Every structure is written in C-alpha cells, then in structure tokens.
Amino acid sequence: MRSTFRYFKTSPEIIRLAVMMYVRFPLSLRNVEDLLHERGIEISHKTIRFWLNRFGPIFAAEIRQKRVNQMHAHSNRQWHLDEMFVRICGETHYLWRAVDHEGEVLESVVTKRRDRKAALKFLRKSMKRYGQSYVVVKDRLGSYGAAMNVIGNSRRHMTGRWLKKRAENSHLPFRRRERAMLRFRRFRSLQKFTAIQSSIHNHFNQERYLYSRANFKLQRSAALHEWRQLCSA
C-alpha cells in the first residue's frame, strides 16, 4: 500500500504535529508556525493550511471509522441532538450536532435553515453512518419531531430542558475555536472544519475528571501513540 505522505519531503511526524496543534488547540496558523519555530522547524503558515486541507479529512476519517466500529458493538445507544447559531459574513447559519452518551460528537451538519428539511438531512446523514439510535434526546424544536415522523422514529425520543445539557457542552470547544479564527468566511470551509475538529477533539477527549491522574496519563499517552500511527501504512 502506498504511503499517504509519499510526495512530501517533510517528515510525517511534523505534519501530524502541525495539524494536531492547529485543530486541537485554539491557535491561529501563525501561532502554530511560531511554536514549530521554537522547536527548530521552519514551516510557513500557508504550508500548515495546505497540510490541514490535505491531511485533515484523512486523519478525521480514520478516527471516525474506528469510532463507528466501536458503536456498532453497543445496542443501547443514546443520541443528544442540538443546533447552534454560526455567523458567516454576517449571515446566520445553523450547525446541527449529534452527541452520544459519552459526550463525543458523532455528526456535524451546517445548513442555512432550521426547518424540517434541514433536520431530515441531518438525521439521515447521522443514521447512515452510525445506524439508528435507541433513544434520541432533543429540544422542543418542531423540526425534529417532523423529521422523526418521516423517518419513523417518533416514539424513541425524549424532550427536556436539562436532558440535552451534554450536547450544549459539546459546543464549547467549537466556540473557542471560532473566536480564535475570528469566525468563518465560507460555508464549505465551516462544514469541512467542523468534521475535522470534532473527530480530532473526540480522539483526545479523555474526560480527565472521571479518572485518576495515573490512568489519565496512560490514556493520554495511548491517544498520542494512536495519533502518530495514523496513515502510517
């Protein structure tokens, strides 16, 4: 099998490090350039942007495929659905998110409207990739109920003010990233980046408050080791 990095002179470890630093932390491209310079790596911020567009979707797809395989082994799955407002060049768009019971983002879809058609697109895309959920936790937006009636999943849902708190908390990393990038300027770039950012954030999200310091360090080291193995074939 040919290597993904076969046409690049830069070491794959440096490419993975640059992509991880930009997506995982709320840093700008020039911030990542300066941090790499401190480590003796001379890379332009434009090169980092090219690496993100070239390898970001590949890294995210590998992480997402592993997560899909793990989810199919569990039958008692619960999804938390929520949408948030995102401004693109002064125009309001909607970012739909599906979060599992562990707080990991399953799917992100950007739409211009918040009607039944948009909710149906979001649910169908999520179900196509992850299968049908056992229980769906949603808010009182009528678009969810109308879309679930079309799908035939109207009986497997829960509505409550505090039940979808897990989905709302998942928006915080994206909001920090949005402020660092001074918001988004194009619809396609927002959709592409949310898919990359959610997958990589899931990979490094170890929920440190649930484990002791020793177990957290082991899981963090394992996550970094798996990250360095991406596209290594």
pLDDT for the residue 73: 57
User: Residue 59: its pLDDT value, please?
Assistant: 92
Q: Which domains occur in the chain, in start order? A: 12-71+206-228 (no CATH), 78-185 (3.30.420.10)
Q: What is the DSSP string of 110-143?
A: EES--SHHHHHHHHHHHHHHH---SEEEE-S-HH
Strands 157-159 and 135-138: parallel
* CB 29 within 8 Å of CB 45: yes
**pLDDT tier at 150, thresholds 50, 70, 90:** confident
CA distance 77 to 75: 6
Task: Give the residue-averaged pLDDT of 188-193.
Answer: 88
Are residues 196 and 23 in contact, defined by beta-carbon separation less than 8 angstroms? yes
DSSP 19-56: HHHHHHTT--HHHHHHHHHHTT----HHHHHHHHHHHH
Using alpha carbons, select from 19, 60, 57, 54 the residue that is nearest to residue 36. Answer: 19
Among 48-62, 66-80, 83-97, 209-223, the minimum mean pLDDT is found in 66-80
Tell me the per-residue pLDDT of 75-96, one tens digit each, with 9 for 90 and over: 557 788 888 899 888 889 999 9
Residue of 158 and 19 predicted with greater confidence: 19
For the entire predicted model, the pTM comes to: 0.81
